[in-house]
Structure 1
């Protein structure tokens, strides 16, 4: 079994999070300049839940000095069904992701997590997931859990409160063009998951923004979504939130605020949240601690 060399608690700031030394097991391309990395860390793989994230940085060197946040893509199980590793996806856009694209098997990294709150375990009949760009990646684990195909973290306890009926899950996935559309073969075994694609340039699927697909789903007279989980560019998430509010459908957004520490010490990732007790009617909350998943009606969306 893969074991990290070291593990350190994060000073009680995040009670279930620890810092680990781990190694890269493999890396594969998902789309143009988009990759999935597999990290050997049984401890983190056992704890992390869909929608939660972790921070990662190279084990050696100081450039970049700070880690970067990435959300869970999926966990990897051994022959006994035990989590032994996890995967995350990233798009090459900066210094660290540029370095990451050259990480090879055996590369040592520092990770700390799991961090944040994760998506709630779905309890309805039809869950609609909406992903824009790299924002589609949390929904493989979300769909597996909603369809009762995989248990993550503490979900074994959470499952006890669910009915025996299995819901349906839909994914609306929007990208700029077919060139950037990710390989979705990991989703194919999920037979109760339906996928609709929109491209800005019309090169695949529905021409235009993914929000048009969302609007159709919310207006359906049969199998209308009970809830919407959304991750992607901020303007897209705000548009989805407004559509859900108009349709009176619960919506949760996964915010991607820039983070420095990941466990609430630096206050660099705050977002505006409604607060009736504040004179302004809102207050700041740390995305890394109180989020990154927020109910859309909690947020001040401008």
Structure 2
């Protein structure tokens, strides 16, 4: 299966996956709000993308009328609005583009290209066990839509609405400190349980989120799968723990991108391939990803 709806467990197709449903358009800012330290949620009015985008997919955003920064930046779907005409993204201020984005106000316009990439695979059978979602930093944002889909509470793109899982999804959320923990209530109010770990112990477990995962992988009910997004070292540790426990894991990569549609090769990642000379080959995160089976990835 090819196209933007190709399942994430088939990331090694030799042909690029065309973004058949992607559109280039202008969106209007509906809301900008600070949700944690240096962390914001941006609501964009854009029916064309809201109707197409699926959990785990992303879009490229550019500020119109500017040539610095010239290129767009990738942002994952946070969730689609209840009206079906808007959607939200989350971002952390880390550079010029995101600093400029904090100045956006309701009524301002941005340029968009999307939806892009392959999202999370379809939810497992309703009685298969819970999905664990392991996030670090801003990596929690793709999991609100994923969790609502698993709960049967929302439909996205062409996937439609799925049967509600008998096992609600669980978010294991790691951050530097309590002031960086964003919108836990937005998850819990929708039926997604949240366990927090902070590096300094200011909220939840004092330590790494992977320590929460290690305990949870060996507790009942047994997880059906793990989805993870966040810093690469964290995802590498998550992948190793899941492989040892025999639990399928999918990683949503946060690779830097310049174009978002496979032309520039700036987002390549190493993926294991038995017939390659080095035992791995490059894949473009924007086309074959950003979601990959974690055990196929070669982490540095």
Q: What TM-score does the superposition give when structure 2 sets the normalisation length? A: 0.91
CA contact (8 A) 2:150 2:165 kept: no
User: Are the equivalent residues in 2 in contact too, given 1:148–1:166 (CA < 8 A)?
Assistant: no
Distance 1:183 1:189 in 2: 10
Q: Is the deviation greater in 14-23 or in 244-253?
A: 14-23
Q: Find the counterpart in structure 1 of residue 170 from structure 2.
A: 170
* Aligned twin of 1:129: 133
1:62-73 matches, cutoff 5 A: 62-73=67-78
User: Do the aligned partners of 1:33 and 1:92 also contact (CA within 8 Å) in 2?
Assistant: yes
Instruction: Confirm or deny: 8 A CA contact 1:230 1:237 kept in the other structure.
Output: yes
Match of 1:289 in 2: 287
Q: In 2, distance between residues paired with 1:245 and 1:13?
A: 30
Superimposed CA distance per residue, residues 157-203 of structure 1 (whole angstroms, 9 cap, x where no aligned partner):
x73xx6x6533211100000111111222113223x21100000011
Q: For 1:203 and 1:239, how far apart are their aligned partners in 2?
A: 23
Q: Which has the higher contact order (CA 8 A, sep 6+)?
A: 2
List alignment gaps of at least 5 residues for structure 2. Answer: 1-16
Counterpart of 1:153 in structure 2 is 157
Which structure 2 residues correspond to residues 215-254 of structure 1 after superposition, within 5 A?
Answer: 215-220=214-219, 222-254=220-252
Q: How far apart, in 2, do the equivalents of 1:187 and 1:217 lie?
A: 19
Q: Which residue of 1 aligns with 2:4?
A: none
Gaps of 5+ in 1: 1-11
Contact 2:253 2:289 in 1 (8 A): yes
Residue aligning to 1:214: 213
The whole-number CA distance in structure 1 between the counterparts of 2:165 and 2:202 is 37
Rounded Cα–Cα distance in structure 2 between residues aligned with 1:101 and 1:257: 22
The secondary structure found in structure 1 opposite 2:237 is helix
Structure 2 match to 1:108: 109
Q: 1:232 to 1:165 in 2, by over 3 A?
A: closer
Task: Tell me what 2:59 maps to.
Answer: 54
- C-alpha separation in 2, matches of 1:117 and 1:31: 28
1:120 aligned residue: 121
Could you tell me how far 1:154 is from its partner in structure 2?
A: 1.3
- Give the alignment's Cα RMSD to 1 decimal: 1.3
In the comparison of the two structures, how many residue pairs are matched?
Answer: 281
Q: Contact between 1:274 and 1:299, CA under 8 Å: does it hold in 2?
A: yes
The list of structure 1 runs, each at least 4 consecutive aligned residues, that deviate by more than 3 angstroms after superposition, is none
- CA offset at residue 301 of structure 1? 2.6
Distance 1:35 1:188 in 2: 19
Contact residue 232 and residue 299 of structure 2 kept, 8 A: no
- Structure 2 counterpart of 1:8: none
